[in-house]
Structure 1
Amino acid sequence: MDNRQAIGSWLSGPRAAMEEAGGDFGYRGEQLGLPEEGPGSIARPGRRLGAIAVDWGLCFLIAYSLVTDGYDPRTTGNWTLLVFFVLGVLTVGTVGSTPGKRLFGLRVITLETGTVNPLRALLRTALLCLAVPALIWDRDGRGLHDRLARTVEVRI
């Protein structure tokens, strides 16, 4: 093995290195019984990031309109997080998706019943507001906030 191959496997990550060695991880969502592509498949990271950016922008606009003292980054940021929390709990807990998720064709479901109850939406959104659980993903592409709430974000 030359240095380029060793560095290439290190840069591409452990999954690529294991696949080169003959390991088979399957596709994302296979262990959960979800299809590989199309409706019901695991949502891709790009769509998820786009949806959260739309939701955050919408929440920022709502928070900015609530703050009457003018723009102050410290207070507007706190209000934005609060509006984001309320929006997430209410929309995911009732219809299964936020406006951003709906725009990008995504929905949050549970594997047992298919719908997310308000308590799971509360837990999922609270963990998402902490940001760290959302940055830790498993091999199926679910964030820690999804795993702890026993939910999964899928395409519709």
Structure 2
Amino acid sequence: MRSQYRGRVDNRQAIGSWISGPRAAAEDMGVEFGYRGQRLGLPEEGPGSLARPGRRFAALFIDWALCMLVAYGLLSDGRANATSNWALAVFAVLSVLTVGTVGFTPGKRILGLRVVAEDGGRLSLPRVVLRTVALVVIIPAVIWDRDGRGLHDRMARAVQVRI
């Protein structure tokens, strides 16, 4: 009877580790990851720290909404089905121009975020274009590393930090 109970506890632990994810399971086994951005030499909190996913998604939402307004008002001739295609093109141009010159899009600026190179400087134009193309494809943006950076940022050797 007792061995059956032990099996249930082991199953719960296995299921719990699966639900919480590999990072939590590794931390339960004693692996030290440190805070997000530590490997990049960024502070844990405050200006210069790694931007949190919630702020990044909100900034993306603001930028997308602005691009939809521009696409609907100026480029799509009032046709709703053409608006999203034009919005993607406007988003790509907006991202290249603003991140390439000032380091942030309007949504990132509103939420206090900036895109910088891993060494802290500005991104070069080819790296901004690479980052934007990967972001427009979407798949690289939803694949994250343990610091919370998307694959598009890793490819361009960029970091989104708090201002």
**Shorter-chain TM band:** over 0.9
Q: Does 1:63 align with 2:81?
A: no
1:4-24 superposed Cα distances (whole Å, 9 cap, x missing partner): 222111100000001011111
Structure 1 residue runs of 4 or more that deviate by more than 4 Å after TM superposition: none
- Correspondence for 2:113: 106
- Cα distance in 2 for residues equivalent to 1:11 and 1:141: 19
Q: Does 1:130 align with 2:130?
A: no
- Residue correspondence of structure 1 range 10-89 to structure 2 within 5 A: 10-67=18-75, 69-73=77-81, 75-89=82-96
- Cα distance in 1 for residues equivalent to 2:62 and 2:118: 26
1:61-105 superposed Cα distances (whole Å, 9 cap, x missing partner): 0000123532332x1111000000000000000000000000111
Seen in structure 2, the aligned counterparts of structure 1 residues 68 and 148 have a Cα distance that, compared at 3 Å, is: closer
Q: Does 1:8 align with 2:16?
A: yes
- Cα distance in 2 for residues equivalent to 1:123 and 1:102: 21
- Cα distance in 2 for residues equivalent to 1:120 and 1:111: 12
> Hey, which of these two has a bigger chunk of helix by percent?
2
Residue 161 of structure 2: SS of its match in structure 1? strand
From the CA coordinates, give the structure whose radius of gyration is larger: 2
1:100-155 superposed Cα distances (whole Å, 9 cap, x missing partner): 00011100000235112222111111110000000110011111100111111001
Contact 1:134 1:145 in 2 (8 A): yes
Report the TM-score when normalising by structure 1.
0.95
Report the TM-score when normalising by structure 2.
0.91
Contact 2:67 2:90 in 1 (8 A): yes
Identity level (%)? 64
Q: Which runs of 5+ in 1 are unaligned?
A: none
Q: How many residues align?
A: 155
